[in-house]
Chain A
Amino acid sequence: MLGFLSTLQPADAGTGLYLIAPTVILILCVAGGVGTFLLLPGRKQSPRLGALLLIIAGLIFGLILFRTVVGQASSDTGPYFWIFSAIAVVGAIRVITHSRPVYSALYFVLTVFATAGLFILMYAEFIAAALVLIYAGAILITYVFVIMLAASAQTVGDRSPLAGLAECDIQSREPFTAACVGFALMGVLLFVIFDKAERLAQFNFTPPAAGLSADELVHGSTQSIGQYLFQNQMVNFELAGLILTVSMVGAIVIARRKVADINQRFEPSIETISANATPVNDDPRSIPVYGTTNPKQKSFPQT
């Protein structure tokens, strides 16, 4: 894999054509960026226009991709690839643009399901199952719980369609910069992915269907993955277990921090106070004692 990565360095381009022209990628990225920016929660949010732009860009991109696929063997995935991809992308967009965090979590679940579907198309059903079990089943549930825990104390906004939302959810940080940066990165990635054909011809990529061994066809990928894990990656496997244990312990330790009152609001402050170092009029209470909120003062022995 690393060898492949190293060959992606810019070398003298041949006379071959790009799989997808960089200009098209650029235009689509710009459109997508603008659309995303308009969708992100904030002052300039205009969901309809943004959604429209994004949908158009996505459709065009999809069409272009489709054209590159037409008429060859690995279209055995049928329309499912496109469906799952569309659901995944739409879900991802909604994750980042929805104002309510619970909806973000739920849309994420949707994205996870779509991704799992993509894996099944690639004959990686174990991964798909694991994804659904762990991500959708465990991690996302935890997220939803934490959202519910933390949302209880947030302030209520005045605007009716956005009632009950904290300010942090309504306004996003510098959406323009983020959209620019993100889509610039995406442009680069897509450019590299859809680079010239002869550069990529040196690698021996076989479609999943053709690469399956007979064993796998019968027992599925679970067995091969299990064999691989326990034969080749034994140490890593054990380490993974160790990591889980450690994180469990850590989570318990973190969560165990005792707080005096859940409703207590204490404002951390950094104050410098200059005060007496010797008692005034022999009154021990005239010297404040720092570091605790314990109002009990030490009493000085009477001399």
Chain B
Amino acid sequence: MQLLALQHYLAIGAILFVIGLIGFITRRNMIVIFLCTELMFQGVIINLVAFSRYTNNLAGQAFVIFILVIAASEASLALGLVILLFRTKNTLDADAWRELKW
């Protein structure tokens, strides 16, 4: 029965992850796409911390620290690239980048 509490957290994590996923696929604004990436990170973090807590293994939380590091660096680089892309085509529309087609 105690397991249930873990599963609640896992469920929340899964829901957040999937919502972020849907947004990532759907939205056309490049910045919002990366924002949804961060949302996926949230889901993952919840999962990690929940497992860490419920199995008394601090590795999960340490991993979360590293995830934050990566998220930060990735956000900065990604936003830099988004700015550059924006300058090229003067639009934030991800659909403008279509050259890699058949």
Taking Cβ atoms with an 8 Å cutoff, the residues of A that contact B are 1, 19, 36, 40-41, 65, 68-69, 72-74, 77, 81, 85, 88-89, 92-93, 95-97, 101, 104-105, 108, 111-112, 115, 118-119, 122-124, 126-127, 130-131, 134-135, 138-139, 142-143, 146-147, 149-151, 153-154, 166-169, 171-175, 177-179, 181-183, 185-186, 189-190, 193-194, 197, 200-201, 203-208, 211, 221, 224-225, 228-229, 232-233, 236, 240, 243-244, 246-248, 250-251, 254-255, 257, 259, 262, 265, 268
Contact = CB atoms under 8 A, between A and B. Distances in A.
Nearest to A177: B25
Interface residues of B, number: 78
A124 B66 contact: no
Contact of A74 (B4, B23, B45, B75): B4
Contact of A96 (B5, B22, B65, B75): B22
Interface string B60-78: 0110111011111111110
A101 B32 contact: yes
B25 A173 contact: yes
Given A112-B42, A254-B80, A88 B66 contact: no
Tell me if A's interface is mostly helix, strand, loop or mixed.
helix
A206 B6 CA distance: 9
Given A138-B72, A166-B92, 17 more contacts: A65-B8, A74-B4, A81-B8, A92-B19, A95-B32, A96-B20, A96-B22, A115-B16, A124-B49, A150-B86, A173-B25, A177-B25, A182-B21, A197-B3, A232-B62, A251-B76, A254-B84
B49 A172 contact: no
Contacts, number: 273
A168 B68 CA distance: 29
A89 B36 contact: no
Contacts of B26: 40, 96, 172-175, 178-179
Interface string B35-47: 1101100100110
A153 B90 contact: yes
B84 to A, nearest CB: 6
Nearest to A93: B19
A173 B54 contact: no
Interface of B: 1-12, 14-23, 25-29, 31-32, 34-36, 38-39, 42, 45-46, 49-59, 61-62, 64-66, 68-77, 79-84, 86-88, 90-95
B27 to A, nearest CB: 6
Contacts of A111: 16, 39, 42
Contacts of A171: 28
Nearest to B23: A96
Contact of B82 (A150, A182, A208, A247): A150
Given A69-B8, A104-B35, A168-B95, A205 B2 contact: yes
